[in-house]
Amino acid sequence: MHGQKWRRATASPIVGAASDEGNESLALGGRTEPATIRGVISDLDGVLYRGDQPIADSVEAFQAWHARGVPYAFVTNNATKSAAQFAAKLERMGVPVTAAQVFNAVSATASLMQQRWPKGTRVFAIGERPLFEAIESAGFTLAGDDAEVVVLGFDYALDYDKLRTAVRAALNGAAIVVTNPDLLTPADDGFEPCVGVLAAAVSAAVPSAVPIVVGKPQPFMVEEALALVATAKSETIMIGDQIATDIVAGQRAGIRSFLVTTGMAHVPVAGVTPDRVIGSLRDLIDEVGAP
């Protein structure tokens, strides 16, 4: 079984200029054939694993593609770990990968900030250690409610003091940068609130502070991953478990985007349709990299 195939929306400003499944098929000798899949870009949470539990079918798929020489990369909105930490986690689960193949919201946030603000800019950040390290390595100075930029990331130790400092800095005119807009993230025993909940709280307190969102659905990380896998857009797919982030990001980057239902229940997004819906990555094993 190869899953249900849906037609891509062609008039959505979110998806961009998609043209009647133009990326999904190729005209060969007057016949229309499905485009070959030679490269894969994939989300992590909900696709490869849930919390610390690997999804066996997905691990099997990437092992098969690695053995076949298929280039692949991973893009994740998770800002709690570095690329090296994500790679180590995947290796423990049996997925062959290097840190260079992982693009995450930590590095993307630091890169965006370097483009917008000079070194030495005062920054207040909520997040885990990898986010702080990336901000400092990029040349910024960690500060309190006198910060010029507030960065909102995932923080297991989030408390009222941190929220108060972020709100006060925003009231004082600080720009707000959000590592990712996800409201929920998969965990071993269900789901946990994610960065989007924190961003909503700050925005509710300071409506004039319009946040800059770094991770998916923005296409930045997907475009970086495309450069790494170096396959044609028409022969590359994005795999994810959420329409609002993964599917939109992939389609904005100009590639076919497949929704896999192994993660949390997806929420429909008006005007956005996955190019295909599958129940497991095993459905794709024989299609990817096939001659």
pLDDT in 10s for each residue of the chain, 291 residues: 333 333 343 323 333 333 333 344 433 333 344 679 999 999 999 999 998 999 999 999 999 999 999 999 999 998 889 999 999 999 999 999 999 999 999 989 998 999 999 999 999 999 999 999 999 999 999 999 999 999 999 999 999 999 999 999 999 999 999 999 989 887 778 888 999 999 999 999 999 999 999 999 999 999 999 999 999 999 999 999 999 999 999 999 999 999 999 876 777 889 999 999 999 999 999 999 876
Which contacts (CB < 8 Å, 24+ apart) does range 287-291 have? 287/2, 287/37, 288/37, 288/38, 288/40, 288/61, 288/65, 288/68, 288/70, 288/237, 289/37, 289/38, 289/65, 289/68, 289/69, 289/70, 290/36, 290/37
Q: How far is 66 from 222, CA to CA, in rounded Å?
A: 20
Helix-helix angle 160-171:195-205, to 10 degrees: 50
Domains of the chain in start order, with CATH, are 4-77+216-284 (3.40.50.1000), 105-213 (3.40.50.1000)
pLDDT value of residue 291? 67
Choose among 176, 175, 185: nearest CA to 155: 185
pLDDT value of residue 34? 64
How is residue 46 written in tokens?
């909900």
How is residue 40 written in tokens?
């894969």
pLDDT value of residue 262? 86
